[in-house]
Amino acid sequence: MSHFQLRKKDYHLLWDTSHKPLLRLKDDDTVALEVEDFSNGLLNLDSTVSDLTGLNFDLCYPLAGPVYMEGAEPGDTLAVEVLDIQTRGWGWMAVLPGMGLLREDFKDPYFRTFDISNGEYIPFREDIHVPLAPFFGTMGVCPAGAKGLAVMPPGNFGGNMDTRHIRKGSTLYLPVQLEGALFSIGDGHGAQGDGEICVTALEAPLGAQLRFSLIKGQHLRAPRFTTPSPLLPHTDTRGFISTMGIETDLYKAAQAAASDMVGLISERWHLAPIDAYLLASLCVDLKIAEIVDAGLFTVVASLPLAVFLE
């Protein structure tokens, strides 16, 4: 087993088969890495909404890598075990015009930063503390034929899956599409609810340690992952309050459940609707409760009461 390191400067901004590998790994090798937040370091704790609106998005979305796995071929599986993840003291959230589940309700840009140097929670308000649960929104192998492919859309190669359950102790299994796999990682998040409702989680720079192994000839159709514990260990302590959306369209059902939840948070906990929207993106989980009943889909939005101090 060998140990390697990727630094903040060891990154790329697009999926592309022409990227030269920064590391060559063998089975059971480990890599320590540092990755900037989505803004690639262009934002900081003192930034404002004007910094957000002036952001050059062509310079955003840095991915550490790629790394080459010796012996990996199409049809194999790259296993990536997350040994540890560390936050780096701060993060930010935003509403970006034209994006997010409730983009028609929240059309103006909005931006907040958070000091998370306590290492335990996001101080959303003095009586609202969202536990930190860091993960990487983007983990993937390079897709076959990729030429300057944007990072945001995920695919069967992995990529920008924004799956918060792939956290410390989890193992991600990725279907290899190219020789060497060409794995990359980025889009660090300090916390997020399932759905990332407002289109940002707590965007944050992260450090991590990963262990890589190769499974020959498994032929996965799409990524899989395992977790070391129940899916909601950091908030499953005091119960939940949930809203529901029931529509003939699954996306509209998700919108309805989320909209009702934002209204509930705003009214019950006296938050401005825009801040209720951000809080929902941080810790509300969207779930498909039912998908088989006569063309009507039911989506549930669940808010953990653990984030509110007693």
Q: Please write the tens of the pLDDT for every residue from 199-216.
A: 999 999 999 999 999 999
Confidence label for 231 from pLDDT (cuts 50, 70 and 90): confident
User: CA angle 123-124-130, nearest 5°?
Assistant: 70
Q: Are residues 12 and 102 in the same domain?
A: yes
User: pTM of the entire structure?
Assistant: 0.96
Q: Are residues 198 and 167 in the same domain?
A: yes
Beta partners for residue 172, in sequence order: 80, 225
Tally of structural domains, the chain: 2
Mean pLDDT of the chain: 97
- 3-class secondary structure, 78: strand
CA separation for the pair 211, 82 (Å, rounded): 7
- 3-class secondary structure, 281: helix
| pLDDT at residue 185 in the model | 98
Q: With 0-12 CB in 10 A as exposed, 13-18 as middle and 19+ as buried, what is 104?
A: exposed
C-beta of residue 28 within 8 angstroms of C-beta of residue 4:
no
State which H helix or E strand residue 296 sits in: strand 296-304
Q: Please write the tens of the pLDDT for every residue from 68-115.
A: 999 999 999 999 999 999 999 999 999 999 999 999 999 999 999 999
**Arithmetic mean of pLDDT, 265-281:** 98
Domain extent, residue 112, equals 3-226
Q: Are residues 202 and 302 in the same domain?
A: no
Q: Are residues 56 and 168 in the same domain?
A: yes
Confidence label for 44 from pLDDT (cuts 50, 70 and 90): very high
